[in-house]
Amino acid sequence: MIDAVTLAILNGRLEQIADEMDATLFRSAFNPIIAEAHDASHGIYDAENGDTLVQGKSGLPIFVGVMAFAVKAVIDKAARDDDLVDGDVYIFNDPYDGGTHLSDFRLVKPLYRNGSVYCYLASVGHWHDVGGNVPGNYNPIATESFQEGMLIPPVKLFKAGVIQQDIIDILQSNSRLPMSVYGDLNAQINALDLGVKRLNSLLDDYGENTIKLALGELKDRASKMMRSYISSLPDGEIYAEDYLDNDGIVDEPLKIALSLRISGESMTMDFGASSLQCSGPVNIARSTTIAACYVALKHIFGDVPANAGVLEPVKFIIKEKSLLSATAPKPVGGYTETILRLIDVIFQAVAKIAPDKSNACAYGTINALSIAGHRKNGQRWVMFSFFGGGHGGHPLGDGLNHGNAPISTATIPPLEILEAAYPVKFNQWALRPDSGGDGKFRGGLGATYEIELLEENADAFLFGERGKFAPAGVVGGEPGAKNIFTYEGENGPAHPKMISKIVGVKLKRGQTVRIDTPGGGGYGKPSERSNALRDADRTLGYVTKGKL
């Protein structure tokens, strides 16, 4: 046993190591998706099965579950090859083997103590461009992963501490922005090196056995807390479903369905009624599905520690070759849109049995926008960014206006950074009135972004969602507004045929693209909203029509 004071101290020290790794990467990465938006994560993982032991508080929660599968992929690879030694570092982005999509590159490093692997440290970051047909890699018309970017299986970036320059050469040669790849890669290497240094120092202070006991206790406590929360829910089965607009290829909705079963201290998430894997890039791997469920559960039970113990009392039923368990080479570039809908479905299901623990759906799309071209000197530029929207109303109040997607703790890249880095100007960056769903507690407002091109020519690409199916309210709340993308066509303002997805929009200097992002769904019946809150909505300009 380990006493409570020592456990608290060690928990803080371990989290600080992961936090410091996060900070090191954020401060030294070249591309703003990591440096400003914090689309990255670090953690410490079990030496035998890859389970998450510790994760940084600044990294993306979606990576917690996925990285456990990624580390396990490295463990299995090393076992097959029988060549793991101290100083090795693996790199890969395989989305079907512990990955998400091709933009997310993972580095995994074993930490040796007394001649054997004590644990693994891992870093993941979203690289700016990794090849493929679309700059920035969100290709909404991809039908194979080959059209989304380069796919790297687990390979050794370092062998016994010696860097393999040929691997770096391959990575850089497959990117439109090779220096961005070089900078982000080295930032991740430095973060891992720092983590090894800090963890070795902690182990020297307390000893391997004490730290191992602490890690085991923290995992057990997360499992016990999760079982306690599940047991507080009523036994039974509830069903919820939601839809994606389309897959970018065929303009038909795709269903994500959940049968949520509660039995004592155990929970079963059955996604068997969901759509089969599709032609377009909204498929996700089984590991990504499980990671998204972890994020949703952490939203609902917020004080459960971030480690593998959270999922011990949860069983998953995910049909093979379904939208939620896709196989290679099905495209997966738009995984963010699908995991957001997964979270929405879980929120809706829990709201039916425990309305005090859930909230309405958030805006449900990152609106991945790429604008790319060449400067006058011939230099290639690629602006890739994602955008915010409204969060759902909840039991304690209105939803957050213009927040980031609930899959992460990332931030929306500031317009000042985007304008400084790329030849664009934001004519509008504002809240979108009347976009939050009505209810006892209103959904948060979406946003309006209008972006003007300052170079001679460029191409724009959008990968979004919620153009057909609005974010749902719960407990009688109304849905938020839908997503709208507008660009300047030959005959004036135009919208995508696929509603929320489009490639190759030709822009000339002075032309604009505009995104009106969804608001969150409302919580509770609109008739229960107080007059004071409605007066405030009107005064602040949040609501300009309808029920005031």
Average pLDDT, the chain: 95
pTM of the model: 0.94
- pLDDT exceeding 70 applies to what percent of the chain? 99
**pLDDT given for residue 35 in this prediction:** 93
Beta bridge partners of 112: 117
Kindly list the domain boundaries of the chain, sorted by start residue. 4-223, 359-548
Beta bridge partners of 251: none
Give the position of tokens 């590159």.
105
- Express each pLDDT in 152-171 by its tens digit: 999 999 999 999 999 999 99
Give the position of tokens 């599709």.
278
Alpha-carbon distance of 117 to 86, in angstroms, equals: 8
Q: Return left, alpha or beta for 513; rule: phi > 0 is left, psi -120 to 50 is alpha, else beta.
A: beta
Residues 176-200, mean pLDDT to the nearest whole number: 98
CA distances in angstroms from 10 to 17, 120, 212, 305, listed in the order given: 11, 18, 11, 14
pLDDT at 546 over 70: no
| CA nearest neighbour of 436 among 539, 348, 537 | 537
Instruction: Report residue 142's pLDDT band, with 50, 70 and 90 as the boundaries.
Output: very high
| CA nearest neighbour of 538 among 547, 528, 529 | 547
Q: How many CB atoms lie within 10 A of CB 434?
A: 17
CA distances in angstroms from 486 to 363, 453, 492, 499, listed in the order given: 18, 14, 10, 10
Residues 6+ apart with CB under 8 A from 85: 159, 160
Instruction: Report residue 56's pLDDT band, with 50, 70 and 90 as the boundaries.
Output: confident
Q: Could you list the beta-strand ranges (E) of 83-200.
A: 89-92, 104-113, 116-126, 155-159, 162-163
Alpha-carbon distance of 259 to 321, in angstroms, equals: 18
- Express each pLDDT in 417-431 by its tens digit: 999 999 999 999 999
Would you call 11 helix, strand, or coil by DSSP? helix
Least confident of 49-63, 192-206, 504-518: 49-63
Alpha-carbon distance of 274 to 242, in angstroms, equals: 10
Would you call 341 helix, strand, or coil by DSSP? helix
- Express each pLDDT in 250-291 by its tens digit: 999 999 999 999 999 999 999 999 999 999 999 999 999 999
Answer whether 510's CB lies under 8 Å from 458's CB: no
Between 99 and 375, the higher pLDDT residue: 375
- Express each pLDDT in 329-366 by its tens digit: 999 999 999 999 999 999 999 999 999 999 999 999 99
**pLDDT given for residue 548 in this prediction:** 42
Give the position of tokens 């953690």.
43
pLDDT at 173 over 90: yes
Instruction: Report residue 476's pLDDT band, with 50, 70 and 90 as the boundaries.
Output: very high
Answer whether 437's CB lies under 8 Å from 521's CB: yes
Least confident of 19-33, 299-313, 478-492: 299-313
Answer whether 246's CB lies under 8 Å from 280's CB: yes
Answer whether 483's CB lies under 8 Å from 532's CB: no
Answer whether 177's CB lies under 8 Å from 116's CB: no
- Express each pLDDT in 313-334 by its tens digit: 999 999 999 999 999 999 999 9
Are β-strands 447-453 and 254-263 bridged in parallel, bridged antiparallel, or unpaired? Answer: unpaired
Task: Kindly report the backbone phi and psi dihedral angles of residue 191, in degrees, each rounded to the nearest multiple of 5, phi listed first.
Answer: -65, -45
Element (H, E) at 199: helix 178-206
Alpha-carbon distance of 171 to 152, in angstroms, equals: 9
Q: Return left, alpha or beta for 67; rule: phi > 0 is left, psi -120 to 50 is alpha, else beta.
A: alpha
CA distances in angstroms from 482 to 103, 146, 244, listed in the order given: 27, 31, 12
Alpha-carbon distance of 465 to 485, in angstroms, equals: 10
Alpha-carbon distance of 142 to 101, in angstroms, equals: 13
Alpha-carbon distance of 526 to 209, in angstroms, equals: 56
Alpha-carbon distance of 120 to 74, in angstroms, equals: 10
